[in-house]
Structure 1
Amino acid sequence: MRPTAFGWVDDDVSTAPDWDRAQVRRLADRLGYRIIWSDVRSVLSVVDQVRNAGVDTVILPAPEHLGALELNRVMNVADVETVLPRLSFARWYAAGTAR
C-alpha cells in the first residue's frame, strides 16, 4: 500500500494549471505517493479537504499556492512538499505528545 498525497494547485495563482498538475503528479510518483486531487467544486478550505482525505502529505507546485496561514493550518495535519523550489516541510507536532 502506497502512502497518499493531496495534490493542490491554486488556479488563481497558477499561470499554467495543467503543467502544474503534471509537475505535482511527477513529484508524487518520484516520492512514491498515490495522489488524491482536491475537489475544485468543494466549499471546504484546503485544510479541511486535506483532513477529510486522510493523506500523509500535501504536494504543491510552489509555496505561493498556499498562503502563510493556510500553510500553517495544513502543517498541523500533513507534511508539505513543493515542486519548485524543491522544498519539504514537516508537519507540526505538539510538544509533549507521545510518538
Structure 2
Amino acid sequence: MADEAERARLFRFPGGVLELRSAGDVGDDCTGFYLEFCGQAGDQEGAVMRWKPTCIGYLQADVSGLEQLWDQARIRRLATRLGYDFADMVVYDPKFIGRPPLARLRAQASRLDAEAVIVPTPEHFEGGEIPRALVQQLDVITVDPEETYARREMLSNS
C-alpha cells in the first residue's frame, strides 16, 4: 500500500488564512486545522485578529451627573451603529485622586488596541475641547453633536 501525499487546502479571509490538511488514507474531512495570523510587517506577535475595529467609551462623572447611565447607553448605541466592537467604558471621577484622566484613557486605548473613543459631548474634556494629543492616537467621536475627529485629518493639518 503506497503512502498518499499530504493534501492541504487554503481558505483566505480578511486578517488570516485557514489551512486544512489531510494525509494518508484520511478522507476529505481533513481532521486537523489551525489558524495563522498573516499580519503586516512589524505587527506584534500574538496579535488578535478582529472582525470589527475596537472602540472604548469615555466620560467624566461630574459632567454627566445624574445622566451618567444615559450617557453610557448613548455611547454604546453609537458604537454599535457605527460598527465598532465596544471594549470598555472609562469613567473619570475628579473626586478621586489618581492618574490624570487622559493618561488613563490613552493607556486603556493602547492596551485594548482601540481605534476610537466615543464621548457624550466635548464638555467631557478640559475646556470643552477635544485634546489634540488624543486625536493623534485615535479617532474621537462625540455623540452630541455627532462628529468624528479623525487621526488622518489631524495628521494632514499638522
Q: What's the TM-score once normalised by structure 1's chain length?
A: 0.80
Q: CA deviation at 1:67?
A: 2.3
- Given candidates 49, 56, 59, the residue that maps to 1:6 is 56
Map of 1:76 onto structure 2:
136
Q: Compared with structure 1, are the counterparts of its residues 33 and 45 closer, same or farther at alpha carbon in structure 2 (3 Å cutoff)?
A: same
Which structure is richer in relative contact order (CA contacts within 8 A, separation 6 or more)?
1
Structure 1 regions of 5+ residues with no counterpart?
Answer: none
Counterpart Cα distance in 1 of 2:121 and 2:90:
19
Q: Compared with structure 1, are the counterparts of its residues 70 and 49 closer, same or farther at alpha carbon in structure 2 (3 Å cutoff)?
A: farther
Map of 2:150 onto structure 1:
90
Structure 2 regions of 5+ residues with no counterpart?
Answer: 1-50, 93-97
Question: Which amino acid is the alignment partner of residue 56 of structure 1?
Answer: E
Question: Which amino acid is the alignment partner of residue 21 of structure 1?
Answer: Q
Larger displacement relative to structure 2 (43-52 or 59-68): 43-52
More strand by share: 2
Identity value in percent: 34
Q: What's the TM-score once normalised by structure 2's chain length?
A: 0.53
Query: 1:40-71: per-residue Cα shift (whole Å, max 9, x none)?
Result: 59845222222222101110111111226772
- CA RMSD, Structure 1 to Structure 2 (Å): 2.4
